[in-house]
Amino acid sequence: MVDVEPRLEDVEKIRKELEVKLGNIARRIEYVSGAGLIVEVPKDSIRDTVKVVHDELDAYLRVIAGVDERPIKGVFSSYYVFGLDNIGLNIIITTYMDSENPSISTIADIAPSADWYELEMYDLLGIRVENRQLYRFVLPEDWPEGLYPLRKDVAHNIRPPPTPAEKGVITGPRIPVGPYHPALHEPEYFELYVEGERVVDVRYNGFHVHRGIEKLGESRFTYQQVPFLAERICGICGFVHSVCYTQAVENAAKIEVPERAEFIRSIILEVERLHSHLLWVGVACHLLGYDAGFMHAWRIREKTMVLAELLTGSRKTYGINLIGGVRKDINRDKIDTVLKTIKWVEDEFRKLVEVITSVPQVVKRASGTGILPRHEARRYSVVGPVARASGLNRDVRKDYPYAAYKYVSFKVPVYTEGDNLARLLVRVDEIFESINIIRQLLDQLPSGSIMAEDIEIPEGKIGVSSVEAPRGEDIHLVITGKGRPYRWRVRAPTYQNIPALKVMLKDAPLADAPLTIASIDPCFSCTDRVIVVDVSTRKRKIISLRKLVKLEGNGCMI
């Protein structure tokens, strides 16, 4: 079935409220099931509308998607998706811009988390956002001006000539794709501006992993091929993206998914959460210098990888999800193996956590550092364990229920301190909750088929779906087209969390930076290297993270 819908009385209440407040501005206010309450306004009133929705109704900003609708309607359009967590309703503000010189005013001063979305709209679609600074964000520096890849008249496989190796701009010991033991890095780096030992500002220079996935999903791939593409958006939480995409299309096309398939999807999602959190615990221990914790956490994690292979056929990038259901079933033997494995994981991990949280260096370094206060967390609309560690009770599994989560009961761990230790404890608690959820799901597994028959996907429908990834809320927006999506917008959780780093790293000692950056669990566990800019002496120094880790003295020897 489609995602659980909010109650109609609540929807009506909000609709009436919006009609009162926006009656003379909004062209239409309509509820579309599977997406939300669509509010269409002219582009000049976007700021007033956002003020009403974000400030007065207290909705969170979830995602902004720009769409090139010139082939269909002759305009550019953009969709601002806000969410009301307490009733599980999306409010989607849409507006149109003319096709020659599309432009719209900024809303980043009202909702600070809109900053990156607006930059991306400009970079990839050419929609000018006024009253703010625009700079190259996603595309590389050597990309030609005026060539916007997401527009419909640009092919997906164009190759403007690449640049040869960098010449002379910044010389010196620059090894930009530096590794970092244990080399779990991705080529992006943070620029930390320091004064002595204190961090004063941080800038993120990233998107080195931009592969043009949204464009590919709209051009070369068909509906049933996109789940495989979506799974490879991230190698650690890939199944989340695959489920989110299929759910968005199923919402848009009103496809009924058999219950057994929903249960299987939920079970695999929880197995993925286990492996991801165990991975993070290991990496966090390593960053604190406690390598023994790293090795033991990954020893426990290996069993979950073998379990995933038994259930799906591959250790990672499972490839069992399709629109309408799943490809592989679970039989009695597999259920027994699952129960045995998660019992083993639970026992082992409980012992390990007892040890980790009693190591004095670990506790001292993690508590009181990287604090994100509650009101800042609300302003930046952070998601996932970062939000839950700062006192915000946000969990997509409870607020916008999907798949089989409406049949299980579980706790959402919320801590209020907002420091690194709180984020670690949230994830530890979530591991035990996941194990609990898997047991409940296996208990209630219904019989039946695992794939829907006769799937038909009409054109021009909009669907929004969100899933709780191990890192936070992942949200996909799909506008259906002929044989493939017309527009597919992906917003991974880390995208929403990184801007909050500015607050967490401000006035913090430099040596706390690696752990703080890793504590938001960037979907590529971390910065390979940091560039440290000493503001007072105006000198740039490149330090490898290994050295930064060692700056705190030797880690625990055990």
Partner 1 sequence: MSKQRNELLEALKALKKSVWVFHLNTGSCNACDIEILDVLTPYFDVERFGIKLVASPRHADLVLLTGPITRKTLPKVVNTLRAVPRPRLVLAIGACAVGGGIWYDSYSVIGGVEALKKVLEENGVEIDKLVYVPGCPARPEAIIYGVAVLLGLVKPKVKAEVIEAK
Partner 2 sequence: MYDMSLLKPLKLIRIARRAGVVTVRYPYQPPLITDEFRGRIVIDAKKCIGCGACVNVCPSNALTLIDDGDKRILNYFIGRCIYCGRCADVCPVNAITISKEFELATDKIENLNSRVVHQKSTCCSCGEERVATEKMISYVVSRVPVSEAYAHMGSNCRKRRFVEGLMLGRGMLHVETEK
Residues that bind partner 1 (CB under 8 A): 139-140, 142-143, 149, 154-159, 162-166, 174-187, 207-213, 215-216, 220, 228-229, 232-236, 238, 279, 295, 298-299, 302, 305, 315-317, 523-524, 544, 546
Q: What's the token pair of residue 439?
A: 């047991």
- Among partner 1, partner 2, none, the one that 554 touches (CB under a kind-dependent 5 to 8 A) is none
Residue 339 touches partner 2, criterion: CB under 8 A: no
Q: Give 21 or 210: the residue with its C-beta nearer to partner 1.
A: 210
Give min distance, CB of 152 to partner 1, in A. 14
The yes or no reply on residue 354 touching partner 2 (CB under 8 A) is: yes
Q: Hey, is 179 helix, strand or coil?
A: coil
Name the residue nearer to partner 1 (CB basis): 88 or 227: 227
Q: Can you spell out the DSSP letters for 135-167?
A: ---SS-TTSPTT--TTSTTS-TT--PPPP-S--
Q: Decide if residue 358 touches partner 2 (CB under 8 A).
A: yes
Cβ atoms of 78 and 95 within 8 Å: the answer is: yes
261 near partner 2, rule: CB under 8 A: no
Q: Least distance in Å: CB of 154 to partner 2?
A: 21
By DSSP bridging, strand 189-195 and strand 529-534 are parallel
* Single residue of 80, 189, 221, 239 touching partner 2 by CB under 8 A: 221
Q: Is 411 in the site for partner 2 (CB under 8 A)?
A: no
Residues 6+ apart with CB under 8 A from 454: none
Do 223 and 483 touch, CB atoms closer than 8 A? Answer: yes
Q: Nearest distance from residue 317's CB to partner 1, in Å?
A: 6
- Pick one of partner 1, partner 2, none as the site partner of residue 279 (Cβ within 5 to 8 A by kind): partner 1
The nearer residue to partner 2, 306 or 535, going by C-beta atoms, is 306
Nearest-angstrom CA–CA distance, 354 and 349:
8
Decide: is 502 part of the binding site for partner 2 (CB under 8 A). Answer: no
Query: 3-class secondary structure for 489-530?
Result: EEECHHHHHHHHHHHHHCCCEHHHHHHHHHHCCCCCCCECEE
Smaller CB separation from partner 1, 149 or 514:
149
Name which of residues 274 to 333 contact partner 2 (CB under 8 A): 292, 296, 299, 302, 306, 309-314, 317, 319, 327-328
Q: How far is the CB of 331 from partner 2 (least distance, A)?
A: 11
Cis, peptide link before residue 182, omega less than 30° from 0? yes
Candidate ranges 178-186, 202-210, 223-231, 234-242; the one touching partner 2 (CB under 8 A) = 223-231
317 CB burial (10 A radius; 0-12, 13-18, 19+): middle
Contact partner, 351, from partner 1, partner 2, none, Cβ < 5-8 Å per class: partner 2
Task: Tell me the site size for partner 2, rule CB under 8 A.
Answer: 31
Provide, rounded to whole angstroms, the least separation between the CB of residue 287 and partner 1.
14
User: Residue 345: in which H helix or E strand, if any?
Assistant: helix 332-356
In the complex, what is the shortest distance from the CB of residue 140 to partner 2, in angstroms, rounded to a whole number? 24
223 binds partner 2 (CB under 8 A): no
Least Cβ distance, residue 302 to partner 2 (angstroms): 8
Q: Which is nearer to partner 2, 312 or 496 (CB)?
A: 312
| Of 92, 352, 533, 549, the one binding partner 2 by CB under 8 A | 352
**Contact in structure between 315 and 309 (CB atoms under 8 Å):** yes
DSSP 44: G
Residue found under tokens 């001006």: 145
Residue with tokens 């000692």: 509
The conformational region for residue 43 under phi > 0 = left, psi -120 to 50 = alpha, else beta, is alpha
**239: part of which helix (H) or strand (E)?**
helix 238-253
Contact 367, 420 (CB under 8 A): yes
**Residue ranges in contact with partner 2 by CB under 8 A:** 221, 224-225, 228-229, 232, 292, 296, 299, 302, 306, 309-314, 317, 319, 327-328, 348, 351-352, 354-355, 358-360, 556, 558
